[in-house]
Structure 1
Amino acid sequence: MSRATRDGRLARSARLSLSGIELFPNAVWGRFKAKFVGGLARRRPSPPTDLSQRRSFPPEIVIMIVDYLKYNTPTLKACAATCSTWYRIAAPHIHRTLLLREWPSTRSVALPVPNRLPFLREFGLLPFVERLLFGGEFARGPARGWIGPAVFNSWGTPQDFRAMVNLQELDIWDLDFSEFPEGLGSYLGHFAPTLRSVALSWPKGTRRQLLDFFMLFPKLENIGISRYPEGVRYEPLDNKPIVPISGVLRGTLTLKEFGDVELLKDMAVAFGGMGFTCMDLKNTPRAMRFVLDACADTLETLCIYPPIKPYDASSPTAHDFNLSSSTALRSIEVSVDSLARLEHLFSTITSPVFSELVVIFPLFPAVETQRTMWAESLVGWVRGLYEVRACSVVFCYDGPETSAHAREMRLMTRRGAEAGLYDFLPRPPSVVYRPF
C-alpha cells in the first residue's frame, strides 16, 4: 500500500471519529426524548386522529357486549383495560360490589387490609356501588368482632358511605348490636331510599334490635338471616309497641339454621304482612310452618333443605312441611333424605302446575337400586299428583363430574328414560352439579 493511500484512509477515519463525537449528544437526546414521549403516551393516550378509526368501535356495540359479560368480572376487567370507551361503559358493572373485611388474626403473615374506598372516592366510582359486604362471603368464617362504629371512620369518611346513592344490597357478617348502643340509623339509615336486600349472618342481638334494624329500610324486599338460633337473650325494651311501616315484603326470604319464630311474627306486623314469592329454607323446621302459611298466596319458588336428623312422623315438627296452602307454587327444590319425608311432603302439594322440580339426592343411600327406587317413586308422585305441562325435573349431585355419585346419577337417569319412566315429561330429567 502506498504512503498516499494510507494517509488518505487515516484522514477519513479521523473525520468519521470527529463526526461521531459531534453526533453522540444528539443521539442521547433523541433516545431520551423518545422514552419521555412514550411515557406520556402510556399515561395519557392521545385519541386517534383518523375520524373513521375513532368511530370504528361505537359505544352501542360495547354496551351490547358488556350486557353479555357483566356477570363475568375477570373478562370484563380485561376488556375494560383496552380503551377508555370500554372502561366508561364497564365501570358500573366492575365496581358493583364493595367488600370490606379484616384479615383473620390467625394469619402468619401480617398483610395490609385491602381497602378500595380511597380508590373509588378518587375516581368518583362510589355511586356505582350496588352491593356492600361487611365481613365478606369469601372469608372462611365470620370476621369475629371487628364491625363497630370505628369501622365507618377508619375505612373511610362518612361522606364515602353517603356517596353510595345507588346501594341496593347490604350483607353483614357477625354484627354485634351491642357495639352500637344508639342504633345503626346514623351509620346506615341513609341507604333507606334505595336499599332492597339485607342479609345478616351470625348476628348477635335481641329480637327487637334485629327488628329495628330491618325497619330502617321501609322499601326492603329481600331478607336473609343465617345462624340465629332460638333462645336469644331478652331485654325489657323488647316489649315496646311496634309502629308499622308502609310496605310488604315481596321478594326472597332466606333462612339458614334459624329458630326464632317470634321475630318473624314481629316482622309481619312491622311491614304490614309478608308476601314473599321465593323462599330458601335450610334447617329451619320451627319457622317453616309460619312462613309457609303467611305467604301461601304468593309463594312461587321454594327451596327446602330438611334437617339432617332422621325423619320421625311422630315428632312435633314432622308435619311442618305441609304445602297444602301454597296454591301459587310453581317451582320447588327439595333435598331427599328419606322416602317417608319425601312422600309426606309431596302428598301435601295442591298446586296444579309446576314449571321446575329440582331434587337433590345426597350421598346416602349408597346402594344404586335404592336410589333408583327413590327416583321412580318421586316421578310417580309427580305424574299422579300434578298436571305437568312444562315441568323440568333436575337430579343433582354434590361432587365433581368424574365422581362415582355423578356417574350413578347419570346411569339412573338413562335407565329410567330407557324404561319409559319419564315419557310424560316434555324432556328427560337433567343431571347437574349443585353444591349443598
Structure 2
Amino acid sequence: MNHVILATTSTELTAKVDAATGGRFVAMPAMPSAAGQVLALAGGVPEVVVLDSRPAAEPMLQLTADLTGLFPGIGVVLVSDQPAELGLAAMRAGVRDILDPSAAVDDVRTVLQRAAQLTRPQTPPPGIPLPEDLGASGRIISVVSPKGGVGKTTVATNLAVGLARAVPHSTVLVDLDLQFGDVASALNLDPEYSLADAVHNPARRDTMVLKTFLTLHETGLYVLCAPESPAAADGIGGDDVGRLLQSLATQFRYVVVDTAPGLNEHTLAALDQTTDPVLLTSMDVPGVRGLRKELDTLTDLGMFAEGRFILLNFEDARSGLSIADVEATIGRDVDMTLPRCPVVPASVNQGVPLMQLGGKDPMTRQLGRLVDRFADVPLLAAKPGRRRGRHRGVRVGAR
C-alpha cells in the first residue's frame, strides 16, 4: 500500500493507520466535503480512502458515492461503530469495507490491504487528475460448452469459489443458463433476487444498486442466479447481458459466467464481453465433435483467435478415447483435463463445491490448478472477444 488517504479527527485512529501502513499514508487536514478535495490532496486517484463516519455518517456516505461514481473501482473504507445500521447504505454507496474503530492494528492492516488489492480506478470525466498507471476492468471468464451434461456448472462454480477464496470479495458468478440454470442448487443457495431482477430494475443503470441484487455465498463469493421460471428469460435480451457483465466487471476482479449449452443469443452476448473463454467438453465422441463445431463457429465469427482455453472433463483411460484422439479431432491441443472422480456426485448433490471442501482427491487438485491459472494472469493481458460482423446480425442457434 502506498497511496492511502485518511480522513478523521481521531488521533487514535490516525496512530493505528500509521502503524498499519508503516507511515505510508496521507492524513487530510480537515474532514472533506467533496471528492475534489480528496483527489487534490492525493494528486490523482488514491488506492484506498479511509473515511471516519463517526462525526456524521450521511456526509461520508455521500462522499463515498461521489468518489465511486467517478472511479467505480476505488477502495473506500468506512470507519463506523454501527456497522449493522450502515450496512446496506454503505454497500449502495460503494464502500469496500467497514472498519471498527476499536480494531487492532493487524486488523486495520488486513482491511487496508484487502481494499488496495481490489482497487481498479477507472478513467474519470475530463478535468479530473489521475496517475498514468491506471488499472483495468475485471476479467470476464465464460465457461462454454456445445452440449449439456459435461460438468459446466461444476467447473464454473468451483472456479468461482476458488477465485473468491484466493482473493476475498473479488469474484461474482453469473448463471446465464436463464431457463434451466442450477448454480443456486450447486451452491445450496436460496436467492432473494435473480438475474431478471438485476436487468429490469434501476440496477441496470447503477452499479451500486446492482450489488444489492447479488447473493453472498459463505465462501465470500457473490452470485447472480438464474430466474426460477424459464419464462422470465423471454424478457432478457443480449444487450441486457452485455450491459450487465460490463457493469459487474467494473466492480469485481473476476466475473465468472456459467452459460447455457450451445451458442444462443445470451451466450454470444457474453462472449462479446469475455476476456477468457473456457471451452469445455466431455471425453466422448458426441462431446468432442460438438466442440470441434463450436471452435469452427468461433473462428467464422472472428472470435478468440488466440487465448482459447480447452478443458476436457471426465478423463478416463477406459473411455475408448485418448487425449491424442481428442486433439486430432479438434485440431489443437487440450490445455487441461479433469478426471472422472467419485467425489463429484456427492459434492453436487450436497451443494458444496469441491474447492470449498478442500479435499486432496485428483479432481480437487486439478480444479485448484485451474484456479491458479486464472488467478495468476495479469488483468491487462486479455481483451474481450468481439464478434466479427455482430452488428450485421450474425447469430448461431443453440444445439
TM-score normalised over the length of structure 2? 0.34
Give the structure, 1 or 2, with the largest relative contact order (CA under 8 Å, sep 6 or more). 2
